Amino acid sequence: MLGFIIQRFMQAVLVMVVMSVIVFCGVYAIGNPIDIVIPPEATQEIREEAIRRLGLDRPLYEQYFIFISNLLQGDLGRSFVYNIPVLELIGGRLPATLELVLISVISATFLGVSLGIYAGYRPDGWLAKMIMAVSVLGFSVPSFWVGLILILVFAVNFGWLPAGGRGETVEIWGVAWSFPTLNGLWHIVLPAINLALFKLALMIRLARAGTREIMLTDTIKFARAAGLSEGTILRRHLLKLISIPIITVFGLELGSTLAFAVVTETIFSWPGVGKLIIDSIGVLDRPVMVAYLILVAFLFVTINFVIDLVFALIDPRVRHGVSA
Amino acid sequence: MIEPVLSVKNLTTHFFTRAGIVKAVDGVSFDLAKGEIMGLVGESGSGKTVTGFSLLGLVDAPGRIVEGSVKLNGTELTTLSDTELRSRRGREISMIFQDPISTLNPMLTIGQQMKLAIDAHEPLSARAAETRASELLTQVGIPSAKARLRAYPHEFSGGMRQRVAIAIALLHRPALIVADEPTTALDVSIQAQILFQMRDLAHETGTAMIWISHDLAVVSSLASKLAVMYAGRIVEQGKTATLLRDPRHPYTAGLIASLPATAKPGTPLTQIPGTTPSLLSLPPGCPFAQRCDRATDRCETEPEMTLRDSRGWRCFHPVGQPAEASV
Amino acid sequence: MSDARTPLSRFWAEFKENKIALVALVVVVVMILLALFASIISPQNPYDLAKLSLMDSRRPPGFVGSGGYTHLMGTDPQGRDLLSAIFYGLRISIQIGLAAGFVSLTIGTALGITAAYVGGRVEALIMRLVDLQLSFPAILLALVIVALLGQGKAQLISALVAAQYAYFARTAYGAAKAERGKDYIEAALATPLSGSLVVIRHILPNCMPPLIVVATVQIANSISLEATLSFLGLGLPVTEPSLGMLISNGFPYMMSGRYWISVYPGVALIILIVAINVVGDQVRDQFNPRLRK
């Protein structure tokens, strides 16, 4: 088991290194590297001076090392627009995104898996068919449209929920969170629903497909032949067997949800990292863009690593290094 | 006459598919006495597995039992409610399947799975369940049973896994076990072991067994009586020794002749020409007629089961009797 | 009774049985026709800036504009007739969706089949790359590429392709690998026939069914993604409004009750995407052997 953890960890580090090289090359090779540091409006003199000062006339691999060493020290440059260190900027906005994403993802998974299992267990019932039809919508409709409709219906039409922005915040461990307050929760509802919808639809479909397949296997037949009740079979056999594909997709979708937060945050004016990146692309605030990419890569690698660990915990075959 | 443990009369199970009605089991009847081992033999598609499922009420949609009666210890099973049927499964009648890899849940320990089977009918404390489970594991020939309870299925070999399945089937001392090709997926050397172990267990515990197989050779060493199935019907049944020595139905004769053991050394193995007909579109009359070299026009009507001296066959021109003279 | 019909007619016969899928297919065809003939059926050419009048902007449906005709769906902030803009927008969405889908299909299939056919290091390298890409959310990738390359049709299509070729690659790889292992391929390769001929005549046709399924899904995804990017302001230039841009233009006006500017283009977009998805679902179900009972 320890060997497994170490192996996965090394892989994660390797991927991070590769990602950093890719980001570095992408930004430095495609764009004009000087644009990372100097705003486009600077004069020729300032540019040349900066090039010399920052060593941008040095060979590429040297620049990479400078880049990396700065990174590891937490120096990701300064934002052109806000003129504060990027790390600080992103750090300030991250909690908002995190709380939105986590609330969405967790509720989507619980609700989605439950509905999906039901739809898979009784696939011919009218409720199951309705669930599937709705899931097609959640799946195919672009999330920005859903957000629009949500605002139109709940905020403009009925006036029940706020149309955007983050609510009151409370400081926990030195960071501002909004979910502990009622006002904050009120503001989270619509964006969370918007963000969760896609994932909900995905989980429903996945759980349904998995349930249908698993219920036809010999394992379930054997359990039935032994006289186990349907309830026991669902709880002790199905849930365990379905957890593998669910968790795999959960991990993949966590990253995807982080990405989709970009759209939701824009529509609901949610002050998170997503909105930041859109604004930054608009004004070409390159240090922020670079930092965002590195951050996302890091989050991805971490999520994948954690998922691998979870697998080892729940599937004994993975623990013992046996092929499934 | 002692009441038979199992009494099946005219069991008919059909599958209602998009493409038509598949008559998987079409009027199967047989009796089984206490402690008796019967072999149910046939090619794939003959309906033997579906017969097994029908006995336990485990036929998946779009199939269902349309006609017939299955009496276990005098109780009619086909009319029971789900709950009543479930209370008998695993307790009075059990089943083991072909592939032990897929019958056990890879994510639960053997002990956990056995406890689930125990609790389904007779909830015991954890300790009592452990004792009972290890007793049974030992009985089926798994060493260090108590420790093995904490192991996962993938830590066992195929033969051991099947023994675990057998142990689970025996947990509540059922009157009947239906074994669906339990040794087909195992190594030849293990097959013999399991075979004889099951026979001994059946004798020890007085459990009746139906051994479903496509392999006549395997079954004949174990079963005291045989039923040969073809295209959803039993075409011949009787005591094993009699059947093997003196088969009546041409199909049975063909099966016996194609066994490597009965072939004369140096001669090519005999085969039954042709293939099984599709159960969707069975020709009228005897389903074996197309492949039979004894078939005549008479065979276009469906032959009834001829019963004589506790054996039966469905044929107008049985082997061992001159052609044209039957009934 | 054996089935003497061709596979295609059998496929169509089964497809027709699902009424919902049939309706969806009709909807898709109608939308394609609308898009193709957009220039003919639109009362106004929304790209012709000279014809637009700000006097007509933000008018509700039914308004008779300065051009002398009724704006059946109202007008947008630039004074464009919304109905015309929707037709043209549909055209752009479908164009881009098909283009991105087709290019992704070609590139992805080529990569996948090559990886399965050549094997060894090449296979490992290609599939690693594909796997990495698959775990990366499409929208992020598209965002980054658009950010780096700027705006425009070609850039947008490149971004979409980069985000989606991986799905095709993985599907083609799986199917090709399954075929590659089969004996008849080994036999064919032993003949003097060139390897590429074997690929084209044997491996490729067997990859088609799953690829078609992936293609329908991905085309819908491309359309959705393009709309999202346009909505965020990162899609096509303002002068060529796609449905996404129309929606985003109307967003600020939703609060003040002028919902039609966003809602109508949105509805058109949704109908298109959902219809394609329903058709795709049916195609997928029909190709899946395991669900055929």
- Whether B265 and B229 share a structural domain: yes
* pLDDT (average), residues C132-161: 78
Query: Does residue C57 lie within any of the structural domains?
Result: no
Query: Does residue C69 lie within any of the structural domains?
Result: no
Query: Does residue B162 lie within any of the structural domains?
Result: yes
* Spacing of C-alpha C102 from chain mean position: 9
Does residue B143 sit in helix, strand or coil?
A: coil
Query: Does residue C112 lie within any of the structural domains?
Result: yes
Question: How many angstroms separate the CA of residue C293 from the nearest CA in chain B?
Answer: 7
Count of A–C CB contacts within 8 Å?
95
Residues recorded for chain A: 324
Give the phi and the psi of residue A308 in degrees, each rounded to 5: -55, -40
Dihedral sign of CA atoms C120, C121, C122, C126 in order: positive
What's the confidence (pLDDT) of residue C47? 66
Higher pLDDT, C288 or C3: C288
Query: Does residue B29 lie within any of the structural domains?
Result: yes
Give the whole-angstrom CA distance, residue B65 versus residue B12: 6
Give the whole-angstrom CA distance, residue B64 versus residue A277: 59
A148·C274 Cβ contact <8 A: no
B120·A322 Cβ contact <8 A: no
Q: For residue C81, which of C107, C106, C48 has the smallest C-alpha distance?
A: C48
pLDDT band at B289 (very low <50, low <70, confident <90, very high): confident
Whether the CB of C234 is below 8 Å from some CB of chain A: the reply is: yes
Query: Does residue B97 lie within any of the structural domains?
Result: no
- Whether B163 and B36 share a structural domain: no
Residue B18 with chain C: CB contacts under 8 Å:
293
* Total domains, chain C: 1
Strand B20-32 versus strand B75-76 pairing type: unpaired
Cβ proximity of C108 and C168 under 8 Å:
yes
Please give the residue range of the domain that contains residue C233. Answer: 17-38+76-291
Give the whole-angstrom CA distance, residue B148 versus residue B162: 14
What's the confidence (pLDDT) of residue A144? 85
What's the confidence (pLDDT) of residue B327? 43
Name the amino acid, one letter, at C217.
V
Per-residue tokens: B152: 């996962």
pLDDT over 70 percentage in chain C: 84
The helix (H) or strand (E) run that includes residue A248 is: helix A239-267
pLDDT over 90 percentage in chain B: 17
- Whether B58 and B206 share a structural domain: yes
The helix (H) or strand (E) run that includes residue A317 is: helix A316-319
Q: Which residues pair with B230 in a beta bridge?
A: B233
* pLDDT (average), residues B7-25: 87
- Whether B156 and B140 share a structural domain: yes
- Whether B164 and B201 share a structural domain: no
pLDDT band at A39 (very low <50, low <70, confident <90, very high): low
Cβ proximity of C217 and C281 under 8 Å:
no
Higher pLDDT, B325 or B59: B59
Q: Is the model's pLDDT at C1 over the cut of 50? A: no
Does residue B213 sit in helix, strand or coil?
A: strand
What's the confidence (pLDDT) of residue B178? 94
Give the phi and the psi of residue B26 in degrees, each rounded to 5: -130, 80
In terms of average pLDDT, the best of A135-139, B43-47, B234-238, B266-270 is B234-238
What's the confidence (pLDDT) of residue B212? 93
Domain boundary among B171, B189, B211: B171
Residue A324 with chain B: CB contacts under 8 Å:
106
B106·A316 Cβ contact <8 A: yes
* Spacing of C-alpha A4 from chain mean position: 25
- Whether B53 and B152 share a structural domain: no
C136·A30 Cβ contact <8 A: no
ipTM above 0.90, yes or no: no
Query: Does residue C51 lie within any of the structural domains?
Result: no
- pLDDT, one tens digit per residue, over B63-106 is 888 889 999 988 898 888 888 889 889 889 999 998 888 899 98
Residues recorded for chain B: 327
Q: For residue B208, which of B132, B305, B95 has the smallest C-alpha distance?
A: B95
Lowest mean pLDDT among A77-91, B137-151, C24-38: A77-91
pLDDT band at A40 (very low <50, low <70, confident <90, very high): low
* pLDDT (average), residues A71-86: 72
Lowest mean pLDDT among A138-142, B130-134, B240-244, C101-105: A138-142
Q: Is the model's pLDDT at A106 over the cut of 80? A: yes
What's the confidence (pLDDT) of residue A220? 92
Higher pLDDT, B28 or C238: B28
Of A223, A229, A314, the CB nearest to B107: A314
- pLDDT, one tens digit per residue, over A221-237 is 999 999 898 888 988 99
Query: Does residue B1 lie within any of the structural domains?
Result: no
Fill in the DSSP letter of residue B302. P
What's the confidence (pLDDT) of residue B115? 92
The helix (H) or strand (E) run that includes residue B200 is: helix B188-205
Lowest mean pLDDT among A235-244, B156-165, C60-69: C60-69
- Whether B251 and B235 share a structural domain: yes
Residue C293 with chain B: CB contacts under 8 Å:
17-18, 62
B105·A218 Cβ contact <8 A: no
B89·A324 Cβ contact <8 A: no
Q: Is the model's pLDDT at B301 over the cut of 50? A: yes
Whether the CB of B301 is below 8 Å from some CB of chain C: the reply is: no
pTM over 0.90: no
What's the confidence (pLDDT) of residue B113? 92
Q: For residue A150, which of A161, A139, A140, A166 has the smallest C-alpha distance?
A: A161
- Whether B190 and B162 share a structural domain: no
Q: Where are the alpha helices (DSSP H) in A216-238?
A: 218-225, 230-232
The CATH number of whichever domain residue B235 belongs to comes to 3.40.50.300
b/e B153-164 (16+ beta carbons within 10 angstroms → b): bbbbebbbbbbb
Q: For residue C83, which of C33, C29, C38 has the smallest C-alpha distance?
A: C38
Give the whole-angstrom CA distance, residue A307 versus residue A302: 9
Long-range contacts (CB closer than 8 Å, 24 or more residues apart) made by B240-245: B240/B39, B242/B311, B243/B311, B244/B220
A259·C137 Cβ contact <8 A: yes
* pLDDT (average), residues C263-272: 86
Query: Does residue B216 lie within any of the structural domains?
Result: yes
What's the confidence (pLDDT) of residue B326? 43
Q: For residue C170, which of C209, C205, C133, C217 has the smallest C-alpha distance?
A: C133
> How crowded is residue C248: how many other Cβ atoms within 10 Å of its Cβ?
23
Query: Does residue C272 lie within any of the structural domains?
Result: yes
Higher pLDDT, A195 or C82: A195
- Which of B59, B116, B157, B172 should we substitute to test contact with A (largest number of A Cβ atoms within 10 Å)? B116
Q: Is the model's pLDDT at A319 over the cut of 60? A: yes
Average pLDDT score, chain B? 85
For C159: left if phi > 0, alpha if psi spans -120 to 50, otherwise beta; the answer is alpha
SS (H, E, C) chain C: CCCCCCHHHHHHHHHHHCHHHHHHHHHHHHHHHHHHCHHHHCCCCCCCHHHCCHHHCCCCCCEECCCCCEECCCECCCCCEHHHHHHHHHHHHHHHHHHHHHHHHHHHHHHHHHHHHHCHHHHHHHHHHHHHHHCCCHHHHHHHHHHHHCCCHHHHHHHHHHHHHHHHHHHHHHHHHHHHCCHHHHHHHHCCCCHHHHHHHHHHHHHHHHHHHHHHHHHHHHHHHHHHHHHCCCCCCCCCCCHHHHHHHHHHHHCCCCCHHHHHHHHHHHHHHHHHHHHHHHHHHHHCHHHCC
- Whether B251 and B312 share a structural domain: yes
> How crowded is residue A194: how many other Cβ atoms within 10 Å of its Cβ?
28
- Whether B286 and B317 share a structural domain: yes
What's the confidence (pLDDT) of residue B324? 47
For B90: left if phi > 0, alpha if psi spans -120 to 50, otherwise beta; the answer is left
Per-residue tokens: A17: 């290194």
B18·C1 Cβ contact <8 A: no
What's the confidence (pLDDT) of residue A49? 73
Per-residue tokens: A90: 């992103």
Q: Is the model's pLDDT at A31 over the cut of 60? A: no
Query: Does residue C11 lie within any of the structural domains?
Result: no
Query: Does residue B101 lie within any of the structural domains?
Result: no
What's the confidence (pLDDT) of residue A58? 65
Whether the CB of C23 is below 8 Å from some CB of chain A: the reply is: no
- Whether B66 and B26 share a structural domain: yes
Please give the residue range of the domain that contains residue B135. Answer: 108-171
pLDDT band at A324 (very low <50, low <70, confident <90, very high): very low
Whether the CB of B278 is below 8 Å from some CB of chain C: the reply is: no
Q: Which residue of C has its CA nearest to A259?
A: C140
Higher pLDDT, B311 or A172: B311
Q: Is the model's pLDDT at C85 over the cut of 90? A: no
Of C231, C262, C274, the CB nearest to A141: C274
What's the confidence (pLDDT) of residue B177? 93
Query: Does residue C1 lie within any of the structural domains?
Result: no
Q: Is the model's pLDDT at C64 over the cut of 70? A: no
The CATH number of whichever domain residue C229 belongs to comes to 1.10.3720.10
Domain boundary among B171, B198, B213: B171
- Listed by number, the residues of chain B in 25-64 with a beta carbon closer than 8 Å to a beta carbon of chain C are 62
> Chains meeting A at 3+ CB pairs closer than 8 A?
B, C
DSSP output for A68-89: HHHHHTT---B-TTT-SBHHHH
What's the confidence (pLDDT) of residue C62? 66
Q: Which residue of B has its CA nearest to A311?
A: B107
- Whether B126 and B193 share a structural domain: no
What's the confidence (pLDDT) of residue B165? 92
Q: Is the model's pLDDT at B210 over the cut of 90? A: yes
Domain boundary among B171, B197, B215: B171
Dihedral sign of CA atoms C50, C55, C59, C62 in order: negative
What's the confidence (pLDDT) of residue C212? 84
Query: Does residue C8 lie within any of the structural domains?
Result: no
